[in-house]
Amino acid sequence: MSKHYTRPLDFKHGLVNLTHGSGGRAMAQLVSELFAPAFDNEWLAQGNDQAILPPPGGRLAVATDSHVISPLFFPGGDIGSLAVHGTVNDLAMGGAEPRYLSAGFILEEGLPLADLQRIVHAMARAAREAGVAIVTGDTKVVERGKGDGVFISTTGIGVVPAGLTLSGDQARPGDAILVSGTLGDHGMAVMSQRENLRFDSPIVSDSAALHTLAQALTAASPGLRLMRDPTRGGLATTLNEIASQSGVGMRLKESAIPVSPAVRAACEFLGLDPLYIANEGKLIAICPAHEAEAALAALRAHPLGRQAALIGEVVEDSHHFVRVRTDFGGERLLDWLSGEMLPRIC
């Protein structure tokens, strides 16, 4: 396609329309003027239906994640950066070094091209920072009203170092439970921007790529059992998943669980529990008790883990209950999230 015969995309006032997904000239233009230069790498530049990658040199980790967030932009990130971090972190939690991403875009007719450009640039930046290449992609456009601006689905491939085996079924009674920082920041940052809610708050999403933090941890704790990122459903749901998978129970100390004052306050007035709120830049780690100190130190030495904390221990429990000792001296169950998280009425 010769540039001379095409008017450049109007990233100031233009809107996505159905032709951008129809496989014709408009779509090619969107790819050549936006996606290709933003994501630029040798594999994407092959320009074929597939990216052909060099031999990996190790076991492969694959993870996929679809992103449907509303609003698209929030304090601390947007759907673009999130689409990279979400998948990179899923790889990193298995100890993998993230290498490649694919990206599928479902755009809604009427989405401002300016928004799309902002999202794609954020995605490209996040991928560069995380050291992953977006090597293949796809774009579809749905009619107005049939999407929510943009949905992004990413699949990632990473390589797991030899000898490293982390898995959700490896928690053992006596193990230490660590978390890399404050909880609930992402979910509350997004909620503060919701159309029907908008409240002023200093809360910023923690959305970040965790692979270097994860690498620091695996280096410091050779006996590390597993890592998980507590996204949807928050800490509570993730710990319950691990407890079931490993066939163990857990005992946490409420006062040890880090939650920022702003998140606590926002949860307080909305009637929500920060332990059920999503995170996008935190990890939970379980390691043998004697390695807990070294693991904690390694987390705290990393910029993304400064507020890391030891929050509890794995115990034997045939019911797989996660129990919390409250600051008050009582004990309660920290259950799975059921249904959608809804605020209480009175």
Partner 1 sequence: MKYVDEFRRGDVARGMARRIHESVQAGRPYRLMEFCGGHTHAIARYGLTGLLPDNVRLIHGPGCPVCVLPIGRVDSAIELALRPEVILCSYGDTLRVPASNRGSLYQARAQGADVRMVYSVTDALQIARDNPQREVVFFAIGFETTTPPTAIALDTARRENLKNFSVFCNHVLTPPAMRHLLAAGDAVQLDGFIGPSHVSTVIGSAPYAAVAAEFAKPVVIAGFEPLDVLQSVLMLVEQINRGDTRVETQFTRAVTETGNQKARELVAHTLALRDSFEWRGLGQVPHSALAVHPDFADFDAELRFALPYRHVPDHKACECGAILRGQKSPRDCKVFGLVCTPDNPLGSCMVSSEGACAAHYHYGRFMETAEA
Contact call for residue 145 and partner 1 (CB under 8 A): no
Q: How far apart are CA 273 and CA 252, in angstroms?
A: 15
Q: Could you tell me which residues are beta bridge partners of residue 103?
A: 137, 154
Q: Which is nearer to partner 1, 125 or 323 (CB)?
A: 323
Q: Looking at beta carbons only, is 250 or 296 nearer to partner 1? A: 250
Residue 246 beta carbon to partner 1: minimum distance, rounded to whole angstroms: 18
Q: Does 31 participate in binding partner 1 (rule CB under 8 A)?
A: no
Residues 6+ positions from 338 with CB-CB distance below 8 Å: none
Footprint on residues 316-345 left by partner 1 (CB under 8 A):
319, 321, 323, 326-333, 335, 338-339, 342-345
> Minimum CB separation from partner 1 for residue 78, in Å?
24
Residue in 19, 36, 18 with CA at minimum distance from that of residue 137:
36
Q: Which is nearer to partner 1, 219 or 333 (CB)?
A: 333
Alpha carbon distance, N-terminus to C-terminus of the chain: 62
Among 27, 270, 289, 315, binds partner 1 (CB under 8 A): 270
CB of 71 to partner 1, least distance (A): 16
Report d(CA 287, CA 291) in Å as an integer: 6
Cis before 288? omega within 30? no
Q: Which two tokens stand for residue 79?
A: 């759907």
Instruction: Report in angstroms the alpha-carbon separations of 275 from 29, 101, 288.
Output: 45, 30, 24
Strand 249-253 to 150-160 pairing: unpaired
CA distance 98 to 95: 9
| C-alpha dist (Å) from residue 109 to 123, 136, 141, 142, 290 | 21, 23, 6, 6, 56
Q: What is the closest distance, in whole angstroms, from the C-beta atom of residue 271 to partner 1 in the complex?
A: 8
Amino acid at 21: G
Among 1, 52, 162, 346, which residue sits at the site for partner 1 (rule: CB under 8 A)? 346
Q: Least distance from C-beta 186 to partner 1, angstroms?
A: 20
Cα 248 to Cα 168, 224, 285: the distances in Å are 11, 17, 15
Find the binder of partner 1 among 264, 288, 289, 294 (CB under 8 A). Answer: 264
Which C-beta is closer to partner 1: that of 162 or that of 346? 346
Among 143, 169, 268, 316, binds partner 1 (CB under 8 A): 268
CB of 249 to partner 1, least distance (A): 9
What number of chain residues touch partner 1 (CB under 8 A)? 26
The whole-angstrom separation of Cα 279 and Cα 317 is: 27
Measured from the CB of residue 170, what is the shortest distance to partner 1 in angstroms? 24
- x-or-dash pattern for partner 1, window 192-211, by CB under 8 A? ----xx--------------
**Quick check: helix, strand or coil at residue 148?**
coil
- Nearer residue to partner 1 within complex by CB, 145 or 303: 145
Contact pick of 8, 57, 261, 303 for partner 1 (by CB under 8 A): 261
Q: Which residues bind partner 1 (CB under 8 A)?
A: 196-197, 261, 264-265, 268, 270, 319, 321, 323, 326-333, 335, 338-339, 342-346
